[in-house]
Structure 1
């Protein structure tokens, strides 16, 4: 049964890769394989697991999925409202110059995504960045380059903050690094982003012409935009000060948005914006997380600490980062911490960087990538894979930059 489940999980991930060939939406195939493996897991469980233990494992998995679903729903509703009202388009129109080179836009995109993801979570940063890029109406081939940069940048942006990446928080709570040590990760992570921006900008020679329009917003729309920004800041502050889960803060912010629109734009059917959410994105997340959860239950991640028995520590850290593009980096990091591996400060810093940024190497390796793939039709597993060389170079540049700074510390 274990072999069968692993084959089905592999087929589930393979269905994402061959979506363009079989022409079956990845949300359908991942949900099919993700639910099937859990059904079979209940029919023929490992002999040492009771029904109560199975239910506990499934409930833990569903809790993680529900938390992510609700957070995505809240963030996507905010973005759908702001996009529908033309607020994002209007802000871009006011802030961007009337003429800009495509190469300059690439640098600005990487910088904005990196900084915004340092304040917000990866999903929100990705949604906003993609909304901005879509409003620029770039050709499909050029748009892909900018979206690839966004995925890498938002993952790199939160690596140095305990509020920006769960794996960073886990390593910090395990007393492997200090906050001051983590903050220096921002520099090599930013260098990695700029390296990728430079490589992706090669061959871009055109200029963008932005038609300046005088766009006016109602008081209610301005209030919602301000509320969205305040919700992001409050999410970070409440989590640090009181340990409030981000999903709870964002749901509260969403409820405030409903109330603001109700009293300031009384005729606005605000609940309709929930219906504008791309639910195939949520179903895709559900299927992927069910597949990853099954890998966790089968104990596959427990084998990765053995890498450190056969490889030098730094090489193993580098490889673990690439592995995190296939496996959820949270249980992967947990398995490494529980194994009792001994490392120096520079080595722990390289691991923090690699598990935080390594998921960018494949489009399915991070929440940012999955969101981007669901929002941009032209972005598929295969189209993202074309930039694998650039991504590996940028990832490697950041890795050795972290190592150099760690040695100086």
Structure 2
């Protein structure tokens, strides 16, 4: 049974890695193998496990998944509404001048992507930033540099807040880091982005004309955007002061958003703000569900305990650094889940560098993060091979951010 479930996990991982080859959405494959894992555990529990013992483990696994799901569903509904209404893209376009130097635009987009990914999510931040460069008349090599910085900045910005990256949220929910300690990642993460912007902008000297069209921002959209921001800050504050679980605060913020949207729209339009829940990326949520079911099954069989071997043969900081690079080949969500389930003992201060590593390390290859996959689908010049041209700059910038984090926590 152990071997069979390990085969399921390997197959699920291969389907994720080669999603573009097999043309099967990773949510479908991981959910299939995740459910199959627990079905096999129930049918053939094996010694020393019992039916009751498997049920207890499954309930514990589902509770962890439900907490993550509800938080992400609440946050993604806010973003889905504001994105569908064109509020986020409109806000970015309003800050753009008629023309700008290539170097300034590169730095500007990096900062915008960094900030948006912290407050919203990687997918939205990538879509908004990529939309700006997609309409620019620039050479393919330069467009590649803009895309690379956006991918790196999006992943860097998400590591310092639980609303910005799923892996950060997972590590927080596991009790390995606190909201206050996560804020320490802002400086080193931003330093990594600045380093990459400098490396990529060395040969950029031209000026770009920006054809920006702005649309009026409606009052209801402004109000819901304010509610979203207040929800984020309240989530952070309530957790620090009263130890309120973030999922509860965000669900409360969502309820206020739905009520506010209802009364501000009604009776002028037939818009139902509740409908925007249907526009969130359920394939992403189902992918997380499948992955966490698989990892939960592996944890039950104590398969993940072998991950600690890398920490026995290498210093903790080096092991975390390598795991971060590994996340560019293996999706960082299952990698993070596996590390957490392996019950690795390391100093509390080392969980911050690990958070940075698994969050940003996926930027090194185009297939290593959701931001990379999305950017590749939107920019035709961006491929796995072409992205390798900036690998050295990405690795150096990742190293700068990581080792600054290590130095900071010591």
RMSD of aligned residue pairs (Cα, Å)? 3.8
- Is 1:133 aligned to 2:129, yes or no? yes
**Using the alignment, how far apart are the partners of 1:183 and 1:218 within structure 2?**
32
Worse overlay, 199-208 or 218-227: 199-208
Of 274-283 and 321-330, more deviation after overlay is shown by: 321-330
The Cα of 1:14 is off from its aligned counterpart by 0.5
Report the counterpart of residue 176 of structure 1 in structure 2. none
Which residue is 1:98 aligned to? Answer: 98
**Unaligned regions of 5+ residues in structure 2, if any?**
none
Are 1:41 and 2:44 counterparts?
Answer: no
Deviates more, 1:203-212 or 1:45-54: 203-212
Q: Work out the CA distance in 2 between the residues paired with 1:184 and 1:247.
A: 22
**Counterpart Cα distance in 2 of 1:305 and 1:84:** 44
Could you tell which deviates more after superposition, 298-307 or 6-15? 298-307
Q: Which residues of 2 match residues 3-402 of structure 1 at below 5 A?
A: 3-115=3-115, 120=119, 124-136=120-132, 138=134, 142=144, 144-158=147-161, 167=171, 170-171=175-176, 186-199=186-199, 208-213=208-213, 215-266=215-266, 267=269, 268-322=271-325, 326=330, 327-329=334-336, 332-333=339-340, 335=342, 339=345, 349=349, 352-362=352-362, 369-370=369-370, 373=373, 377-378=377-378, 386=388, 389-402=392-405
Task: Report the secondary structure of 1:31's partner residue.
Answer: helix
Q: Contact between 1:350 and 1:399, CA under 8 Å: does it hold in 2?
A: no
Structure 2 distance, partners of 1:335, 1:101, is 49
Q: Following TM superposition, by how much is the alpha carbon of 1:285 offset from its aligned partner in structure 2, in angstroms?
A: 2.1
> Which shows bigger deviation, 205-214 or 30-39?
205-214
Cα distance between partner residues in 2 of 1:362 and 1:69: 22
Indicate how the Cα distance of structure 1 residues 54 and 361 shifts in structure 2: closer, same or farther if over 3 A, else same.
same
1:287 Cα offset (Å): 1.9
Whole-angstrom CA distance in 2 between matches of 1:206 and 1:295? 53
Does the 8 Å contact 2:61/2:293 carry over to 1? yes
d(CA) in 2 for partners of 1:202, 1:296: 47
Normalising to structure 1: TM-score of the pair? 0.79
SS in 1 for 2:100: strand
Check 1:396–1:351 CA distance in 2 against 1; reply closer, same or farther (3 A cut).
farther
**Secondary structure, counterpart of 2:318 in structure 1:** helix
CA contact (8 A) 1:31 1:284 kept: yes
What is the SS of the residue equivalent to 1:45?
coil
Gaps of 5+ in 1: 174-178
1:235-261 Cα offsets, whole Å, 9 max, x none, are 111111222222222221111111112
- Quote how far apart the aligned CAs of 1:6 are: 0.9
Between 1:146-155 and 1:54-63, the stretch displaced more is 146-155
CA distance in 1, matches of 2:321, 2:83: 39
